[in-house]
Amino acid sequence: MQHFKLIFSATFVAIKRDRLLHALAGASLLLFLLVPVISMFSMRQVQELAITLFLSSLSFTLLIFSILLGVFSIWKDIEKRYIISVLSMPIKRRDYLLGKFSAIALFLMFTVCLMGIIGYGTITFAAHQYQSEIPVSWPNIFTAMLMSGAKYILLAAVALLFSVISTSIFLPITGTIGIFLAGSATQGLYEYINSGSGAQDISLTGQYVIKALYYLLPNFSAFDYQVYAAYTLALPLDTIFYTVCYWLIYTSFLLFCASIIFEKKEFR
């Protein structure tokens, strides 16, 4: 546990001192501050658009952070040979991997909280500009934010798995982006092939491929609660519960696989 904590805090310090992340955080902040201004362009749905824009901006920021941290965190240690110095100490590889991942996950959730504070200000400001018939539901907005955080923690686990598999940077980046795009689309495709017209339009082989991808790849669209937040719809608590269980199981499975591969990895 001691070693896990040490790797966790070292990774968190590395993230805190990363200048690229500072620049990206600054750009994100600017994006959030522009939310009330851009929302004005919608004459009637200022509040709804502000919520949607805010959650989309948060999602984009978390996407960039999760890919960067998930891919580069371990890859950089291997590439710059830091890992040789670290793993020659009595640190178990599993503790190293989980310490890294936990720091990334915590940072993503910290980003969610920080952006939540900023979001509170920007959405309140935008909502006062044009009174909506729908009241702002903060529990719905915070649920959407937390689910977004969970989604990108899962993506970081995907990135981490790729970064322990490959020694080059190409596979982790393209693989993570590819899985993210495919995992975001499978839900829609699955529903399409189960609809009458979809079953006719797509060949049987294509339908099997889509079904296989739907069951194998992480389903990122399951974490999307933007509509519930923007239009204050009643939250489906049972669906949220199952999604959280799905997230826990899938993330644990990815980390388990990454841990087995990392245990066998050689650092020449």
Partner 1 sequence: MNIVEINALSKEYKVKKKRIRALDNLSLTIQKGEIFGFLGPNGAGKSTTIKILTDQIRATSGSATIFGIQSNKAEARRQIGYLPENPAFYDFMTAREYLSFTGKCFNMPESSLAERTNQVLATLDLLDAANRPLKGFSKGMTQRLGLAQALLHDPDLFIFDEPMSGLDPVGRAMVKKIIKDLKNKGKTVFFSTHITSDVEVVCDRVGILVKGRLVAIDSVEHIMATGIEGYIIQIRGQDNKTEEIKVSNSELNGVIARLLADNVKIERVNPVAHNLEDFFLDTIQAQVPTNESQ
Give the residue, chosen from 17, 20, 197, 234, that forms a contact with partner 1 under the rule CB under 8 A. 17
Min separation Cβ 107 and partner 1, Å: 14
Give the residue, chosen from 37, 84, 113, 233, that forms a contact with partner 1 under the rule CB under 8 A. 84
Tell the residue number behind the tokens 């999602």, with chain if given. Answer: 59
Burial class, 41, CB count within 10 angstroms (exposed 0-12 / middle 13-18 / buried 19+): exposed
Residue type, position 138, single letter: W
Q: How far apart are CA 52 and CA 187, in angstroms?
A: 21
For the segment 239-268, give every residue that binds partner 1 (CB under 8 A): 264, 266-268
Stretch that binds partner 1, among 14-22, 106-114, 131-139, 249-257 (CB under 8 A): 14-22
25 makes contact with partner 1 (CB under 8 A): no
Say if residues 202 and 175 touch (Cβ distance below 8 Å): no
27 makes contact with partner 1 (CB under 8 A): no
168 makes contact with partner 1 (CB under 8 A): no
Min separation Cβ 184 and partner 1, Å: 33
Stretch that binds partner 1, among 52-60, 77-85, 188-196, 208-216 (CB under 8 A): 77-85
Classify residue 157 by its DSSP letter: H
Residue-wise DSSP of 189-254:
HHHHHTSHHHHHHS-HHHHHHHHHHHHHS--GGGG--HHHHHTTPPP-HHHHHHHHHHHHHHHHHH
Q: How far apart are CA 21 and CA 18, in angstroms?
A: 5
Measured from the CB atom, the residue of 238 and 268 that comes closer to partner 1 is: 268
Measured from the CB atom, the residue of 96 and 247 that comes closer to partner 1 is: 96
Q: How far apart are CA 106 and CA 112, in angstroms?
A: 10
Give the residue, chosen from 60, 82, 208, 215, that forms a contact with partner 1 under the rule CB under 8 A. 82
Q: How far apart are CA 126 and CA 129, in angstroms?
A: 5
Cβ neighbour number for residue 215 with a 10 Å cutoff:
10
6 makes contact with partner 1 (CB under 8 A): yes
**Tokens for 191?**
């529903």
Measured from the CB atom, the residue of 7 and 127 that comes closer to partner 1 is: 7
What does the CA dihedral 146, 151, 152, 156 come to, rounded to 10 degrees?
Answer: 130
Measured from the CB atom, the residue of 191 and 263 that comes closer to partner 1 is: 263
Min separation Cβ 16 and partner 1, Å: 9
224 makes contact with partner 1 (CB under 8 A): no
Q: How far apart are CA 170 and CA 18, in angstroms?
A: 21
20 makes contact with partner 1 (CB under 8 A): no
165 makes contact with partner 1 (CB under 8 A): no
Min separation Cβ 258 and partner 1, Å: 18
Measured from the CB atom, the residue of 89 and 234 that comes closer to partner 1 is: 89
Tell the residue number behind the tokens 């590395």, with chain if given. Answer: 14
Q: Which residues bind partner 1 (CB under 8 A)?
A: 2-3, 6, 10, 13-14, 17-18, 80-82, 84-92, 264, 266-268
